[in-house]
Amino acid sequence: MTTHRKSVQAYLLSAPALVIIALLFLFPSIYNVILAFQELSPFQAPSDGTWVGLGNFRYVFSNPEFGSILTNTVFWLTALTVVLRIVFGLALATTLHSPVLQRWKVRGVARTLVLIPWMVPPVVAVASWRWLLDGNSGVLNQTLVGLGVVDSGIPFLAQTSTVWWSVVAIIVWRELPFVVMVLLAGLQSIPTEQYEAASLDGAGRSRSFRSVTIPNLRPVLTVVVLVTVIQTFNNFVYVWLTTGGGPGTFTAVLATELYSTAFFGNRLGAGAAIGLVMTVIMAVFAVLYMRATRSENQA
Amino acid sequence: MNTSRYIAAAAIGALAATLAACSGGGSAPDDGVVRLTFRQFDPADQIQGLVEAVDTWNSDNPEIQVELETVTPNNPQQFAREANSGSGPDLIHIALADAAFLADPNILLPLDDLMAEQPLENADGLLATEMTVLDGTTWAIPWTADTMALVYREDVLADAGFTETPADWPELLEMAGEITEASGGEVSGWCFSAGAPQNAAQWFPINYYMWNNGFQLIESTDGEWSVGATEAELAQTIDYFNSFFTEGITPTSMQALTDYADPATAAGLDEGTCAMTFMPPAAFRTVQAQIDAQIQTAPMPGGLDDGSTHLGGRALGINQNSEHPDEAWQVMQYLLSAETFGTYDQYPASASTLTELDVDPSEQGFVDQLPHSVPFVRYIGAPMTIASLQELVNQQFSAVYSGQADSATAARSIIETIERELQG
């Protein structure tokens, strides 16, 4: 009886949290799956959806732009920005961790400055960057014209040769602090004795970096890459507010396509189908990535 | 253990009391006053006159008090969700183009019975009723009307030797080109926000051009929808607007803009580096107040030809869930009256009320064009929404401006996408 009572008590104590999880996470996820197989307008009540089987998925995949949209999402939006953030983030974290800054007594200030982009709301960040990159009065163009580098302003967000690089710059700038701070925390957790031992064995900076820093940061890097990939793949704000998917559909990504389909086309079901496709892609990525990194760690 | 139980009981009691208080807060106080919520979506800087009108109503009608609520930008889907769940404001501000989506007995109250019991003054003179009366049912009442008119610097045109605005689209291109050439490239003869995003304003002149040339994106024959323009017609339209960029008339930086009153455009008008553009009345007034230069309006090219420009605007509807539909109708009648437009700085969607307004001469272009404008009814009811059409057109025109595609390819893409969407 006592064991049974404790068991029941445990369930009762867990119930509120489980209910919250079910309501906030499980139910929306299940409903999204259901919605992906229904035809429903944003102007209808949820109960008015009609089942269309795989119709929404056929609609999504029959879009001739789907391939380029997927490529934009995977390569430009996600892969490139994640790689840049990891590289720049590691470089910056290493710099912030440097004893030189400590000797100069500016480490605290430097770390605070690094956080500034993160403190800026994404909407404000995009608005500021749009102003900086404006083809006429933007600071960057004013500078380039003033220095005689170009004769007239470059519409960075309106020409294909520059638009993605502009969006990438905005994303990296705004999201870099997260990577920096996590990697910095990882660096701080590495015992100094390991560097001392490596030094005694004749290892220089680069050898220590490869043999001590990187191996110790591997778990942190694994998590950072996973989190930033998922977050970026699903990101809607940066592209939408910067270019709306343009010029043409040059910067259209899955998230903007989902939004357009659901709220301009009034096809909630098709939008949910795109969302489900995105979820599946990320789930597959997560499984393969974790499996690959686990294998490397074991090796 | 007893203490824990008492604490738990107290917590539950507090939670129940809180929930009861929240649910009870929605009911009207028992003071005999009917309180109505009126939700509108225009920016705050455009509704000072409306605020005054509502305040006047509240002062004159103590038994019916209206609370003005602003939810901007327009979000008809939000209202639909609220109404479908049995909530939402009593009175709702609706873009004319959205009325068809909200024409549902679960969302809007059909107004025919109210109109029969308490007839609306000058109802026969209402504009754009084809957007609000669907299948014989009146779902909303057209309230305000607007259109895009040509906005220009008279002195800048004069410097290039022009005393009149362009009467048709070929003349616009020619005239804009001459203005730019005469200034040595310092002045953009025609400025238009040519961005790819769905909300880019280029959508309006593009449609005006098409309508003035006798074709449109989609058309309905006996309820069957199909593409309304040929590939050649669309390609020609694309080439026309692309000419402003290829001939150096419009700066390429305009390809990143969406708003018809973008700060870049306003600055261009102020500095005299933008000779002509287009805007609706509210934006014109805002820009006029912001800049030092004097700007004027005139009908768009072909704007005096019937059916060549759009009549946009707002309508008023009553939430199906309103507990006071009769009072809401009284308020609606007031909002539709000439008295409201004495302070509310919008053009009324009523031919008779429109004639009573004292219009600033600089806005004469709007007044001249409005009688010839038609709403987007020609696209209403299709499986493809106007919003999707707008997005598609803006994207494909932008693709040509930016060199991603030629006009024929873009035209073909527009047609193929429309055909695909019309199939449902």
pLDDT at A18: 84
Do residues A151 and A235 touch, judged by C-beta distance below 8 A? no
* Tokens found for residue A200: 């005694």
Quick one: how far is CA B103 from the chain centroid?
18
The residue type at B164: E
pLDDT at A298 over 80: no
Name which of B268, B26, B5 is nearest B151 in CA terms.
B268
In chain A, which residue's Cα lies nearest the Cα of B102?
A43
Mutation site, B134, B401, B402, interface A, largest A CB count within 10 A: B402
Do residues A249 and B395 touch, judged by C-beta distance below 8 A? yes
pLDDT at A9 over 90: no
User: What is the mean predicted confidence (pLDDT) over B54-77?
Assistant: 94
Nearest to B387 among A158, A245, A264 (CB): A264
In chain A, which residue's Cα lies nearest the Cα of B186?
A152
Residue B279's DSSP bridge partners are B149
Q: Return the SS3 of B261.
A: coil
Do residues B305 and B228 touch, judged by C-beta distance below 8 A? no
A246 and B395 within 8 Å at the Cβ level: the answer is yes
* Tokens found for residue A219: 């778990």
Cα atoms found within 13 Å of the Cα of residue B416, Cβ hemisphere only: 11
pLDDT at B351: 85
User: What is the mean predicted confidence (pLDDT) over B386-406?
Assistant: 96
> What H or E segment, with its residue span, contains residue B79?
helix B76-84
B398 and A160 within 8 Å at the Cβ level: the answer is no
pLDDT at A103 over 90: no
pLDDT at A299 over 90: no
pLDDT at A12: 85
pLDDT at B11: 58
Cβ-Cβ contacts under 8 Å, B419 against chain A: none
pLDDT in tens, B354-384: 888 888 999 999 999 999 999 999 999 899 9
pLDDT at B291: 96
Cβ-Cβ contacts under 8 Å, B251 against chain A: 135-136
pLDDT confidence of B22, banded at 50, 70, 90? very low
Name which of B174, B229, B234, B212 is nearest B301 in CA terms.
B212
Cα atoms found within 13 Å of the Cα of residue B389, Cβ hemisphere only: 24
User: What is the mean predicted confidence (pLDDT) over A271-284?
Assistant: 96
Residue B141's DSSP bridge partners are B316
Cβ-Cβ contacts under 8 Å, B106 against chain A: 45
Angle A194-A195-A196 (CA atoms, 0-180°, nearest 5)?
90
User: What is the mean predicted confidence (pLDDT) over B125-130?
Assistant: 91
Q: Tell me how close the Cα of A288 comes to any Cα of chain B, in angstroms.
A: 35
Nearest to B398 among A45, A137, A247 (CB): A247
Pairing mode of beta strands B137-138, B141-146? unpaired
Name which of A115, A70, A72 is nearest A96 in CA terms.
A115
- The 3 state secondary structure assigned to A212-254 is HHHHHHHHHHHHHHHHHHHHHHCCCHHHHHHCCCCCCCCCCCH
Nearest to B104 among A43, A62, A245 (CB): A43
* Residue showing tokens 């191996």: A215
Nearest to B252 among A44, A135, A260 (CB): A135
B85 and A62 within 8 Å at the Cβ level: the answer is no
B195 and A43 within 8 Å at the Cβ level: the answer is no
pLDDT in tens, B41-60: 988 888 999 999 999 999 99
A247 and B401 within 8 Å at the Cβ level: the answer is yes
What mean pLDDT value characterizes chain A? 92
Cβ-Cβ contacts under 8 Å, A64 against chain B: 413, 416
What mean pLDDT value characterizes chain B? 91
